[in-house]
A = this chain, B = another copy of it.
């Protein structure tokens, strides 16, 4: 750690994902004093140019020590940070930090799960364990974290016990941008009747790859309005996702964490499945996680 930078004087936390990054300047009291978001996710940064990309963040938020979470720690990011195996708590994340050569930046490790199934995450762990450590969510619950790849995260005794990834967001985007359904999926999805109808189908487990074509056929046969198609298809995929996520976890207290436009759709789908849920803002949870880890540094 450079002598002129002290964590106690405030620091920068960056949630650095595949397509976007969000930076926060945290003051000595742990409050967010300044923030920004841009599209300089790891795929927009060439190998060898990550030091410069980190410098851009300091240009915006000040010359402070930094803690970084998300895909920035992947083999395609800045400094590859080995996965920490489950079960894992906030202390394990602090112990697994990878440091920049000059000691002014630390990268939060992702988690792996391996037990018959295999799974990995990078980014959600800081949010979930931050929310637990700050008391925002209970130490025993099931977290649903929608995004490009939705994660169902089992939290027990304040630690992440296991998790499961579902490719819902990425599949929806592929269908919207490139598939035979693309013409139908221009509207944003909304949690109305068409969405709930799709959710019911998805929850049935009758085969999501068959149901997807059904949207096109219903449209061609005049049984689905184009304006409802995105909601119906989103409902199918999220219904299947919820079916997977709740499997083996019935009766769990479910927390849906992430961006509001997604947490609302997942909460609506969980209601269709008979599960109640509460919505938690992922951004605040990330800041809480970063603060909790920084408290454990040094």
Contacts of A164 in B (CB 8 A): 210
A250 at the interface (CB under 8 A from B): no
Report yes or no: B206 in contact with A208, Cβ–Cβ below 8 A: no
The chain B residue sitting closest to A177, CB to CB, is B178
Report yes or no: B209 in contact with A241, Cβ–Cβ below 8 A: yes
Report the separation of the CA atoms of residues A101 and B206 in the bound assembly, to the nearest whole angstrom: 44
Least distance between A49 CB and chain B CB atoms (Å): 21
Given contacts A178-B178, A207-B240, A209-B240, contact A221 B167 (CB under 8 A): no
A247 at the interface (CB under 8 A from B): yes
Report yes or no: B217 in contact with A165, Cβ–Cβ below 8 A: yes
The chain B residue sitting closest to A174, CB to CB, is B174
A227 at the interface (CB under 8 A from B): no
Report the separation of the CA atoms of residues A241 and B216 in the bound assembly, to the nearest whole angstrom: 18
The chain B residue sitting closest to A149, CB to CB, is B213
Report the separation of the CA atoms of residues A114 and B171 in the bound assembly, to the nearest whole angstrom: 27
Copies of this chain per assembly: 2
A52 at the interface (CB under 8 A from B): no
Which residues 97-124 of A have a CB within 8 angstroms of B?
112-114, 117-120
Contacts of A113 in B (CB 8 A): 217
Given contacts A165-B210, A209-B237, A244-B207, contact A217 B119 (CB under 8 A): yes
Which residues 241-270 of A have a CB within 8 angstroms of B?
241, 243-244, 247
Least distance between A217 CB and chain B CB atoms (Å): 4
Least distance between A144 CB and chain B CB atoms (Å): 13
Contact of A174 among B178, B208, B243 (CB under 8 A): B178
